[in-house]
Structure 1
Amino acid sequence: MSPRQLTVAFHVEDAPTVARFWADTLGREMVDDGSGVHLPGDDRQVGLRFVPGSADGAGPALLHLHLTSASDDDQQRQVAAALRRGASHLDVGQRPEEGHIVLADPGGNAFCVIEPGNRFLAGCGPLGEAACDGSREVGHFWSAALDWPLVWDQDEETAIQSPRGGTKVAWGGPPETPREGRNRQWFELVAPADADHRAEVDRLLALAATRLGEDADGTVLLADPGGNSFRVRPPR
């Protein structure tokens, strides 16, 4: 069986505009799947999906993306290009001596362009990390859910990565942000083509996921042990 692939989904008011920003930033194609715009990933880079939706009733952002850079000049080029495409600088309390640069995409989603030489993200590719709010328990759940090995497990912080490398997914441990309102970002899984969709859902439930509901197309809504909702889509 090929490695399970992960997509990070975002609720945004103008999905085509935000998707175009990220497609241009990452050099990805845009696929309109009828309920959102998908930027497919692969077995090394996570996918992104942008779903139209109002910000009303949405809870706090619980993850942000990290882009890598090869040199100081490359970092500045990426920042300048992102600003031309509609990004803006964002102040989240970062200190002047910190090397990363924090921006917001046209939908207001924070992301960082990481300084060159960052050892943790070395070799991870252009989309180096999805940095998430969550506990060690959540990191271990997702390691088992995706069958991705833990590549960091220290001081309540965890990170996982596809067995073929690429984007890391990390959880920062305590203190955690209270879960309030509906999720504005969530994970999506597509059952592997050589796996039974229902069996895949049962496997996740056995790993301590909680079933929340099911859509008309067979997509199953679950929650991980940290209360973060995620979706399991049937194979297309």
Structure 2
Amino acid sequence: MALRPVQVNIKARDHLAVGRFWAEALGWNVFRPGATTYVGPGEGFAWPDPVAVGIDVVPVPEPKTPAKNRLHLDLATTSAAHQEELVARLLTLGATRVDVGQGDVPWAVLADPEGNEFCVLEPREVYRDTGPIAALVVDCADPRAMARFWGEAVDWTLREVNDDHAVLRSATAGGPYLDFYRTPEPKTVPDRVHLDLLPYPGDDKAAEAQRLRALGARDLDIGQGDVPWTCLTDPEGHEFCVLAPS
């Protein structure tokens, strides 16, 4: 039993505009299978993608708070010129530069049109085969604890772990990394960005959710009512959902 990270869920007041931004940013396409805006690779809607982690933009009435999201995307580039061109293009699409205390770093810290932070990385050999999303980056207090939980929760392989950093990636060696970085700031508000996980065909969603609770997950009530997915938090309070198999 294991779960697949299949999409990043982003809350937005204007989900179609934010979806279009991310599609342009990643060179992907916008699909609208229902009340949300899905962004993924390819010409036709195919979910879940076998390699890429898509983006599902969900409409909400509330604006983002000033608090930094605990989960953000790192975008890959292939050269210094590509990084410069991508940053310039994203700014014309509605991104803004933001200061999250990063200091003098070789990557650019930006926010999408509704304030969700992300980074455009300088070229790194480790991300040469990830596609446009290099990594899903999570702020946390204890990377070793996060590695224990998420290493059991999903079917990705633990690649590295120490006191400051933990790294997981799909065993297929494709798609983005999942990085946990130790940060001093505590989590204070619900996140605008979270991961959605999907059981494999034939696996039972309720059994998977119960397995996660045994690992330290907690139930989360955000007023979702009677829905086909299960809302949980990991041991540090990061929200995520277990979706129903399609």
| TM-score normalised by L of structure 1 | 0.88
- What's the counterpart of residue 226 of structure 2? 216
Unaligned runs of 5+ in 1: none
Q: Which runs of 4+ in 1 moved over 3 A?
A: 56-60, 93-96
Say whether residues 1:232 and 2:242 are aligned partners: yes
Match of 1:121 in 2: 127
**Residue 116 of structure 2: aligned partner:** 109
Moved more, 204-213 or 13-22: 204-213
Any conservation in 2 of the 1:220–1:232 contact (CA below 8 Å)?
A: yes
Q: Does 1:189 align with 2:197?
A: yes
Measure, in 1, the Cα distance between the counterparts of 2:24 and 2:90: 9
Where do 1:196-215 residues align within 5 Å? 196-213=204-221, 215=225
The 1:202/1:3 distance shift into structure 2, 3 A limit, reads closer
- Letter of the 2:241 partner, please give it: R
Q: Give 2:179's aligned residue.
A: 170
Greater shift in the superposed pair: 64-73 or 132-141: 132-141
- Percent identical among aligned pairs is 33
**Paired position in structure 1 for 2:13:** 13
Task: Give the letter for the 1:52 counterpart.
Answer: P
Tell me by how many angstroms 1:71 deviates: 0.9
Deviation at 1:25, TM superposition (A): 1.7
Tell me how far apart the structure 1 counterparts of residues 9 and 37 of structure 2 sit (CA, whole Å). 10
Which stretch shifts more, 40-49 or 99-108?
A: 40-49
Q: Which residue number corresponds to residue 45 of structure 2? A: none
Alpha carbons of structure 1 residues 56 and 122: separation in structure 2 relative to 1, 3 Å: closer
TM (norm. structure 2) is: 0.85
For residue 96 of structure 2, what is the aligned residue in structure 1?
88
Q: Aligned pairs, how many? A: 233
- Say what the alpha-carbon RMSD is for the aligned residues: 2.3
Q: CA deviation at 1:212?
A: 2.8
1:60–1:180 Cα contact (<8 Å) kept = no
